[in-house]
Amino acid sequence: MAGINRGRVVATFLLGVSIILIFSIRELLAAPAGNIQLVITTPEPVVAKEQLSYQVVVLNNGNVAWKRNEYFVEVEFYNEKKEYRKKSERFFGVNPVQPGESALIEFALQMPENLVGVMYYRVVLGYQEERLAISDWRPVRVLANIAPPGPAAGEQVSGWPITLAGNGVLSLRYTERNYAQGFSSYSVNHSLNINTVGKIGQTPVSFNLYGLVNNQEVLIDNFLFNYYGTNLSLLLGDILPSYNSLVLAGTGLRGLLLNYEKKWLSFSALASESARKVEGSSVSNGVYERYLLGSEARFFLKENCSFAASFVQSSDDPGSLKNPGPALTPVQNKVGAGQFSWEPGRFLATRLEYARTDYQSDISSASVSGQGLRATLSLLNINNFNFSSSYSRTEPDFVSLGAPLASRDKETYEVSSSYSLPDYGSVSVYFNTYHDNLNKNPGQTTANQQIISSYLTFQRPRYPVVSVGYSLNTAVGQPRSALDNVTRSPSVLGSYTFKNTTLSLNWQQSEFHDYINPSADLTTLTRGIGLQTSFWLLSLAVNGSFSERNYVSSAKFYTNSYSASISCPQLWRDKLSLAFWSAYIRNYDETSTTTDNNYLTMTGEINYNLRTNLSLIAGYTASNYQDRIDNTNTYRENSGNIRLAMSF
């Protein structure tokens, strides 16, 4: 008991230190363009192949408004060694998010069936095709798993037998769109999805493939082959390697990754494509084919202490395009780095990263060099208390194409801490501050931005789960006449589960005030409600979201969205299932002079099991988009699909 009390005293002291540190910094510095504020998942633990529900709160702490359906989150899954395994689809936000505002994205994912025990996931926030933030590693317990077939007890295995288990889906989709102006378009898509786990000899392997045939074009959208040897592992396909946060992190690649590991040494080699070519035109630039080569050697000096050296080179292929465009030049980027990691105890982790870059904006021109540094200190799970702090600095000429989150010309401080009481709740505090223009160029405005946010969650068994949050985002320029604004955002999330029914509510208000240009002031109010239940043979989900944006200089804008789904997974036990879902979105302003449109879509599917391992799925989707301001955008769309799914 005395040890527990001492642990709580230490946790309380460190939490107090972090809060004092947050509020004692006076200078306002700038934050990244986006941040993941809160991730809540249920249930815990989860059974393999069942749904894990996510509630993700994301924050826009940049200077650019996020448009609806252009910002997204996706989930990356890792095994117990934190080795990348697969990635989810993208889940897009349905409401615009102004600078300083946050948004809630809710979705559910089926847990991978080939991971057992404790696995890890990370949530990625992105806008358009750019990654803005990646969450910390988060564990989840998986209670069941489908294991690949192996030799029976006493069976003799000779040679190199291959055993596999998995599933495959072959699909065909036809889509026809008819516009109000009288013309129409259609498309025919075929796809193949294969997911397998198995063994080559006694070595585990896995393979995932998703391919498309669209208008006579064959596209391998995603594939990954994994070979897990005792000392050697091989990943071929769409990979997500991570060497160093300043060198290679958060970049999806297509290529080959080899890892060799012994007791005191690990070595990694990488050859990949990081960008696919896109032809330019006389008025727009294209994209060169870009290749990325890299390697890392890590030496384990003693237990929980290691040093790593890595090198990455990114090069454009100037011969990959026939028409590069009016101003596109091939670039080359070389990055060398070192990393020191030390975990002296069960609760303490430290990391120091350094990188030096060499960048040519044109391979025929001279290069510029820059340096980057990042230091991290973490206290992990001291009686349910976690604390993390980091400092990073990148020079104005620092360019690392393999680490898009390590942007140039920034000095950043970041602190986060959380404390949880089992069966009661948790509290978390986050602080981020940065400034740019490190060379103090008098002709450039220095941006100083600071963000502080906190969340308090109450979570008692058999009681509603309630999370209350508040964020403050301030931005001040030098000179101040160029930049001076503040955003305040309180929010409340709540959910309650009784037997098979879950009711969820969310509310958020955001107030943006620009001291330089008051006509840009904006107040946003977002409310949401959701209901999930199951009874008899049916499962039902209904959701609604209501957003109001009030610009001082213009009219109010409204976005209301509704969705519903109903399914009958056992209409005919182990033979027939039905599902139906629909969504309706309405956008308009209070005068209906600039914005007035609505979108309605409805989908129905039937699943019939021809055999225990063979299913036929047929579906139909009808959509209607109506634009009352510009009728040329109005259309109706009909789509039918057939899928054949087989497990083996």
The string of pLDDT tens digits covering residues 567-616 is 888 888 888 989 898 889 888 888 878 888 898 999 999 999 998 888 89
Cα→Cα distances 65→412, 450, 486, 550, 586, Å: 22, 18, 15, 14, 20
User: What is the rounded distance in angstroms from the CA atom of residue 378 to the CA atom of residue 18?
Assistant: 12
Model confidence at 19, pLDDT cuts 50, 70, 90, reads very low
**pLDDT tens, position by position, 90-130:** 888 867 776 656 677 877 777 766 666 777 888 888 887 67
Judge contact between 495 and 505, C-beta under 8 A. Answer: yes
Of residues 423 and 615, more confidently modeled:
615
Q: Is the N-terminal amide bond of 396 cis, ω within 30° of 0?
A: no
Judge contact between 451 and 59, C-beta under 8 A. Answer: yes
| E strand spans, 404-500 | 410-421, 425-435, 446-458, 465-478, 484-498
Mean pLDDT of 150-173: 64
Percentage of the residues of the chain whose pLDDT score is greater than 70: 87
Residue 72 predicted with pLDDT over 80: yes
Which residues have C-beta within 8 Å of that of residue 12, sequence separation ≥ 6? none
User: What is the rounded distance in angstroms from the CA atom of residue 570 to the CA atom of residue 578?
Assistant: 8
- Burial category of 519 from C-beta neighbours within 10 Å (exposed 0-12, middle 13-18, buried 19 and up): exposed
Which residues have C-beta within 8 Å of that of residue 218, sequence separation ≥ 6? 211, 212
Mean pLDDT of 347-376: 94
For residue 138 the two structure tokens come to: 């988060």
Model confidence at 315, pLDDT cuts 50, 70, 90, reads very high
Residue 402 predicted with pLDDT over 70: yes
- Burial category of 365 from C-beta neighbours within 10 Å (exposed 0-12, middle 13-18, buried 19 and up): exposed
| E strand spans, 499-575 | 501-514, 522-535, 538-551, 556-572
pLDDT at 61: 65
DSSP structure class, residue 367 = -
User: What is the rounded distance in angstroms from the CA atom of residue 61 to the CA atom of residue 306?
Assistant: 35
User: What is the rounded distance in angstroms from the CA atom of residue 48 to the CA atom of residue 58?
Assistant: 27
Among 502, 480, 482, CA closest to 493: 502
Sign of the Cα torsion 589, 591, 593, 598 reads positive
Residue 285 predicted with pLDDT over 80: yes
What's the pTM?
0.74
Judge contact between 289 and 272, C-beta under 8 A. Answer: no
Greatest Cα-to-Cα distance within the chain, rounded to the nearest angstrom? 80
For residue 310 the two structure tokens come to: 């890595």
Side chain identity at 151, as an amino acid letter? P
User: What is the rounded distance in angstroms from the CA atom of residue 475 to the CA atom of residue 449?
Assistant: 4
Torsion over CA of 20, 436, 249 and 450, rounded to 10 degrees? 30
Cα→Cα distances 297→306, 307, 486, Å: 10, 8, 45
pLDDT at 66: 80
Mean pLDDT of 610-623: 90
User: What is the rounded distance in angstroms from the CA atom of residue 341 to the CA atom of residue 245?
Assistant: 13
Model confidence at 492, pLDDT cuts 50, 70, 90, reads very high
Complete domains list, the chain, with CATH: 34-143 (2.60.40.10), 231-408 (2.40.160.10)
pLDDT at 165: 79
Mean pLDDT of 137-148: 62
In a 13 Å sphere around the CA of 156, the CA atoms on its Cβ side amount to 1
pLDDT at 456: 92
pLDDT at 70: 79
pLDDT at 42: 65
Cα→Cα distances 514→260, 484, 550, Å: 54, 6, 14
Residue 3 predicted with pLDDT over 70: no
Residue 81 predicted with pLDDT over 70: no
SS (H, E, C) 615-627: EEEEEEEEEEEEE
Side chain identity at 148, as an amino acid letter? P
User: What is the rounded distance in angstroms from the CA atom of residue 329 to the CA atom of residue 311?
Assistant: 24
Judge contact between 445 and 424, C-beta under 8 A. Answer: no
Mean pLDDT, the chain, rounded, equals: 83
Torsion over CA of 165, 166, 167 and 168, rounded to 10 degrees? -90
**pLDDT tens, position by position, 222-280:** 888 888 888 898 999 988 888 889 999 878 899 999 999 888 899 999 999 999 999 99
Mean pLDDT of 21-30: 34
Residue with tokens 């993208």: 90
- Burial category of 238 from C-beta neighbours within 10 Å (exposed 0-12, middle 13-18, buried 19 and up): buried
Residue 318 predicted with pLDDT over 80: yes
